[in-house]
Structures are given as C-alpha cells and as structure tokens.
Structure 1
Amino acid sequence: MYIYYGIIIFIFGTIIGSFLNVCIYRIPMQESIVYPSSHCTNCGNRIKWYDLIPIVSYVILRGKCRNCGEKISKKYPIVEFITGLLYLMLYIKFGISIDIVKYVVFISILIVIGIIDFDTTDIYFKTTIVGLISAFVFLGIYYYNGLPIRTYIYGGIAGGGLLVLIILITKGGMGWGDAEICLICGLFLGLKFTFVMLFLSFIIGAIIGVILILSGKKSKKDYIPFGPFITAASVITVFCGQNILSWYL
C-alpha cells in the first residue's frame, strides 16, 4: 500500500509539473495559463491529449513536435520528473498529512518562481501573490486546529525584513522580488528554518557565483538572479533543515 501511494503521488507530481511548465512559459509572456489549450509554440497546432502525458510523451516523440518536428526543450520533462520526485520525497517524509499538502503547494510555487527568475531575471507579482495567499491559508488552517503560528509570522518578518535591509544598504544590490520570496519562505518554514534557508541561500549563491565567474560565463558586474538559490535552499531546508540545525548546535 505504501509503494502504491508513492507511485500515485509521483505520477500526480509529474502531472502538476506539466502544469508548472505552462506557468513557467506563459507568465513571462503575459499570457493566460488557462487559455488557449496547450499548443506548439512553432506551428501553433493544438497538442493532442496523448502527446501531453508527462515524460512519456517526450520520450515517444523523441523530443520533437508531432506536427512540425520542432525540438521540444528538455526542460519540460526535467521539470515534470523533478516535481514528481519531490512530491514522492515529501510523501516519504511527511506521510499523508496537512504538512505534505502545505509543502507540495510551497515547493510548486518555488519551482515556478525560481525557474522564471533563472530564465528572465524577473520575479512576477502574480506568482508571489499566490505564494502569500497560500501561506496565509495554511496559517489559518493551523490556527483553526489550535496549532501555533507565531513562529511562521516571525519567520516571514525575519526573511522578508533581512532582504529589505540588504536592499536598502546595498542600494539595489538585490531585487525587491527576492524579499517577497523570502517573506513567503518564512511564512511557510517558520523562524528557525528561515535562518537555515537564508544561510544556505547565500552559501549556494556564493559557490555558484564564483564558479560562473571563474568559468567566464559571468563577470563581476553581471547580475545573477538570487531566486533560484532561495528556491534550492528552501527545498533543502524542507527535507534537511532539522538535521542541519542539530548538526550546527
């Protein structure tokens, strides 16, 4: 039964990953994520349902559009697989509970924000507002069930507040969108895990930044989006935050 649920959750994750791909592509284009239905960006033909099966359709079609032969980005099956894998890992860690629902929503939002920021260096308010609303919905659920929510409110203040402070001190060294992401992360993670997330964000960012500069792909003057680092750090914190804290203490 445990394996059966795991398989279902993985498949469900890949389906959600397919929808996240739509959001990642259309939001920067200022297009609706609902209409029109999925279509080839090259020939414009509507994609049949049997060509929309996550991962499987990409393999069968060999990464090309059935109608015009245009190559399909490998990013699509990768996002689907990673989403499915993360959902499965959440199930293994939290089981069937309110926590798995919360972190499924949280990680899904982060995937969209992180990849869009990586692709465009922009963070869109329509994505962060969904994160904020979702965070407050879960805080309401926690409060209704008598669970403490103070740590999550403090986490949001600490995460967003620290980034705002950095922005003001550096006079734009980081973007306001980064502060919005950290506010959302704090509301989902709580105070102590927010500090873990922030610490990991700067560590990952510093390592990747140095690698990019040494490899010549970026110069010291180039802007490097911070959203993907926050996303990676938050995912690590969800799964390993307590272990990291225990090791540190």
Structure 2
Amino acid sequence: MTGIPIFFPVVAAGVFGALIGSFLNVVVWRVPRGMSIVRPASACPQCERAIAPYDNVPVLSYLVLRGRCRGCAAPISARYPAVEAGTAVWFAVVVWAGLAGAYPLAAVPVLLYWAAIGIALALIDLDHQKLPDVITLPAYIVTAALVVVASALSGEFTRLASAAAGLAALGGLYLLLHLGYPGGMGLGDVKLAGSLGMLLGWLGWPQLVVGGFSAFVVGGVFGVALMAVRGAGRRTRIPFGPFMLAGAWIGVFAGPALARLYLTATGLA
C-alpha cells in the first residue's frame, strides 16, 4: 500500500496518538502518586483552575497559550507537548511500518498498546525508579487478548505457542537475574519482561532474541556514557525499564535483519 491510501491511516494514527499522549501525561503524573486517572479533572497545579477543553488540545493548546496557564500565567512544563507529539509520531510509525510489511498488519493493535504503555512506563521509571503493578500486571491480560485476536485475524495460531515460549523465556531470564542479584534487577523489571516476551515471541524468535539482548546493549552503552560524562559509579542506580522497552522496539523493527546479519557474519547462515 503506497501513495495517498497509506497517508490517511498514518495521519489518523498520529492524531489518535496525540490524544493518547495527552492522557499519558495524566497517567505519568498520577499513577506513581496513587491518584485516580479519571478524577478530578485536570487543573493547574499552581492556581488549581480546571483546564478547559479548548485549553487541552494536544500540542496546539500549549503553543496558543505560549506554555503558560491561562489563569495564573504559571509556566507549563514542555514535557507535556513533547509526550503528546512523541506519542503521535510513534503511533504513526507503528501504523506505517505495519502497512509497509515490517510485521503482520494484525499486530498493529497490540503494538499501539505497547507504544502507549511503553512511553508511560519509561517516564515513570525515569522519574521514580519504579514500574507500577497497575500498568505491568494488566499488560499480561491485554497483550494475551490482543495476540489471540491477531492470530485469529492472520490465521497464524502457531504464533501463540511462540508467544507463550517468549513469556517463559524472557520472564524466566529476568527472574533468574533478580534472584541472583536483587539489587541490580528489580521485581518490576521481571514483571515487565514476561509480557514483553509474550509480544516479541508472537512476532518471532529473531524479534525475541534481538529484543531481549538489545536491552542489555543499550543499557550498557548508556551506563558507560553516564560514567564518562557524570562520573557515575557501580553503585549508581539506573532504571532499566526504559532500556528493556527500547530493546524490545529494536527487536520489533530490526530483529530479523540483525539476526540475519549476525548469522552471516559468524558463518552460521
């Protein structure tokens, strides 16, 4: 699918992603604090004025208001529109890649779900060094339901077996790492690993292996860079969730290509 036909679903995905990004800002702020994501309505933290619907349009409202509250002129964090725009772009990329044949089109819904919760989990982990159960545990149920639907739509029911194997393999690996070194691998990472393994396993073994391995590569590179730039030491705590999610997306988009490259380079192909 090329040309104009692909343009409309990609743009629609971007608009939908911007709306989801606005909601993710609420999730990232409220979930770690144990607050409801439904009530009360969003308000300015300075003057407590409720945010009107016309001031809550993703990205555009921030630009119109010039980054300040309409009521008290308090500055609004630039992260809010950044999350909205980033989610919009990521949703558009996921849909575009599915239409381009990077993975089965039936996988787009589950990948959009992970695009959303992945952004929320990464930001929460960076801010609070925690991966909330209220997000990671329901991810098992939602991911399982969506991959079943994807198998039904694509007619590839054998993928469900590899999804279960991926859950056991990646979840089991992280559980062993947690038991062997609890201070280095948190239980939240273990809970995230199982559902990520289910997703990557459904897509295929190259995606699972590359996605799982890439998390440690990206995390290792970041750790070395942090030590070089900021003088971080071995005891410096670095949230690993963002690297797990980044590695998973590398597996999603580049898993088969990187696996072929490795096998060719090592003469195993």
Q: TM-score, normalised by structure 1?
A: 0.94
Tell me the equivalent position of 1:73: 77
Q: Of the candidates 162, 166, 170, which is equivalent to residue 177 of structure 2?
A: 166
Equivalent pairs counted in the alignment come to: 249
Tell me the equivalent position of 2:27: 23
Tell me the equivalent position of 2:267: none
1:218 positional shift:
3.1
Q: Is 2:242 the counterpart of 1:231? A: no
RMSD value, Cα: 1.7
Tell me the equivalent position of 2:266: none
Whether contact under 8 Å (1:107, 1:235) holds in the other structure is no
Question: AA paired with 2:254?
Answer: C
Q: Which runs of 5+ in 2 are unaligned?
A: 264-269
The answer to which of 186-195 and 138-147 deviates more is 138-147
Change (3 A) 1:29 1:217: farther
1:98 positional shift:
2.4
Alignment of 1:84-233 (within 5 A): 84-95=88-99, 97-142=105-150, 144=152, 146=155, 147-148=157-158, 149-190=160-201, 191-216=205-230, 218-233=232-247
> Following the alignment from structure 2 to structure 1, what is the Cα–Cα distance between the partners of residues 231 and 127?
15
Change (3 A) 1:74 1:217: farther
Q: Secondary structure at the match of 1:40?
A: coil
Q: Secondary structure at the match of 1:27?
A: helix
Q: Percent identity?
A: 33
Q: What do residues 97-116 of structure 1 show as CA deviations (whole Å, max 9, x unaligned)?
A: 42111100122111111110
Tell me the equivalent position of 1:13: 17
Whether contact under 8 Å (1:15, 1:54) holds in the other structure is yes
Question: AA paired with 1:139?
Answer: V
Change (3 A) 1:4 1:171: closer
Q: What do residues 69-111 of structure 1 show as CA deviations (whole Å, max 9, x unaligned)?
A: 2221121111111111111111111139421111001221111
Q: What do residues 164-194 of structure 1 show as CA deviations (whole Å, max 9, x unaligned)?
A: 1111122432101111111111111104422
1:142 positional shift:
4.4
Question: AA paired with 1:246?
Answer: R
Q: Secondary structure at the match of 1:21?
A: helix
Whether contact under 8 Å (1:158, 1:194) holds in the other structure is no
Q: Secondary structure at the match of 2:137?
A: helix
Question: AA paired with 1:228?
Answer: P
> Following the alignment from structure 2 to structure 1, what is the Cα–Cα distance between the partners of residues 14 and 70?
26
> Following the alignment from structure 2 to structure 1, what is the Cα–Cα distance between the partners of residues 259 and 172?
22
Q: Secondary structure at the match of 1:28?
A: helix
Change (3 A) 1:158 1:18: same
